[in-house]
Structure 1
Amino acid sequence: MNAPVQGRYKDRNFFEKTVMLDGSGFTSCAFARCTMIYSGGEIPSLSGCRFDDCAWQFGGEAANTIAFLSGMYRGGFDRLIESTFHEIRRGAMVSQEQSAAPQPDTTAGKASFLKPLRIFRVPKQEQSS
């Protein structure tokens, strides 16, 4: 079996490779029938790349985050998760640097996204009658 691909590449073609995305950078590369794996490490850079019949897998901390969000959604925090995905669709970016302590938005029922670090506020849960 071939060693996984990881690192910085430009104008390369990859076929049936396992690609470790954490900390890697790919510019104008083509991937065909590859397995793309992100494990929650340093955010990869993918610029101008093409993907044909690739599988995407999440391991480690990334898998834990997805499991946590899934559990929250099923556990009654669906409004928070939907709000989070709304912000992702809008292009929300998370900065890994935090400046002065931001004050959370008090909008009920929505995730609060503040700059430079995005902060989530858990909405008040309605009581069942």
Structure 2
Amino acid sequence: MYTQLKPDTVTAIFESQVQRTPDGVAVVHHDQQLTYRELNAHANQLARYLSARGIGAGQLVAIALERSLDLITAILGVLKAGAAYIPLDSTLPKDRIISILSDANPILLTTQELAAELGGFSTHSGLTIHLMT
């Protein structure tokens, strides 16, 4: 038996938690942490940035980031913009990454360092956005 959940979205559930515990710790990575208020502010900033560039409902955003606070921020920001995300692991074989990007033709969200490491994969996506981390 399982508990039935309300049909809320991930972002609605997150926003509700922000209202309940804004100064509570939302995410920890090594010696870094963000409160729900801080994470929400960062995710909203990214969502506004993406929306201003026409990225929203019905679009795919491939996220190629190392495990970090930025990864969680990026996932929430993409969802808040209304788009869907495709997680990309930079350790996948190059042919697999090219296949994913070619098939989905997503916007690619990554860092300068990972873009260089991925070696030109951004040419297989519709648009590449480099995050400053």
Normalised by the length of structure 1, the TM-score is 0.29
Q: With a CA cutoff of 8 Å and minimum separation of 6, indicate the structure with the bigger relative contact order.
A: 2
Q: For the pair shown, which has the larger CA radius of gyration, 1 or 2?
A: 1
Normalised by the length of structure 2, the TM-score is 0.28
More helix by share: 2
